[in-house]
Amino acid sequence: MRKEPWDSSDDAAKKLSIVDFGAINNVKVMAHMERTVQSYAQARKILSGFVGHAFVSRSGLCATLSKNSIEKILSDTSNASNLKPHLMAAGNIDKLYTNAIEPWTFGLNPNKKNENIVSVHRLYAPMEYNGQITVVKITVKEMRNPKDGNRIYSIKALDVFLE
């Protein structure tokens, strides 16, 4: 895995193509989301059902979702045009995480307090939205204390479309 600067994970997603996730027909199936999500309340209810559940990515990274992560996930909307795909991603975190890959390694942000963190993982998953397959970035914090495990920290529906 190539080491990238800590803040380049959104830009790195632009390098992804549909075949990075597998055969095109398989990716179309994996990108189809099981749930439609129309509101924060609906997304919060779905996410709350996954608290403490262990997810494993295609890259083999195991992570859980905490109550604190739910609020972070739901507050991570960069702009109003991204709200609907973001809520869709939040409500389908289980499927997205299971299909996520980690093609690159990124360093820790040197401007943040990282004393309890070993590593920050950026995973990417395909999601069908409005007839296109977009990329969702999932950020996982690998905690120093093994009993804290790996925590899903945030998700972000990117303006990156797979072809």
Q: What is the pLDDT of residues 36-82, one digit of tens each?
A: 999 999 999 999 999 989 999 999 999 999 998 998 898 866 555 68
Q: What is the pLDDT of residues 96-120, one digit of tens each?
A: 999 999 999 888 888 888 888 999 9
Contacts 24+ apart (CB under 8 A), 52-59: 53/94, 55/93, 55/94, 55/97, 55/98, 55/152, 56/97, 56/98, 57/97, 57/98, 57/99, 57/100, 57/101, 57/102, 57/123, 58/98, 58/99, 58/100, 58/101, 59/100, 59/101, 59/102, 59/123
Q: Which domain holds residue 54?
A: 3-161
Residue 3 has pLDDT above 60, yes or no: no
Q: Structurally, how many domains does the chain consist of? A: 1
Q: What is the pLDDT of residue 107?
A: 82
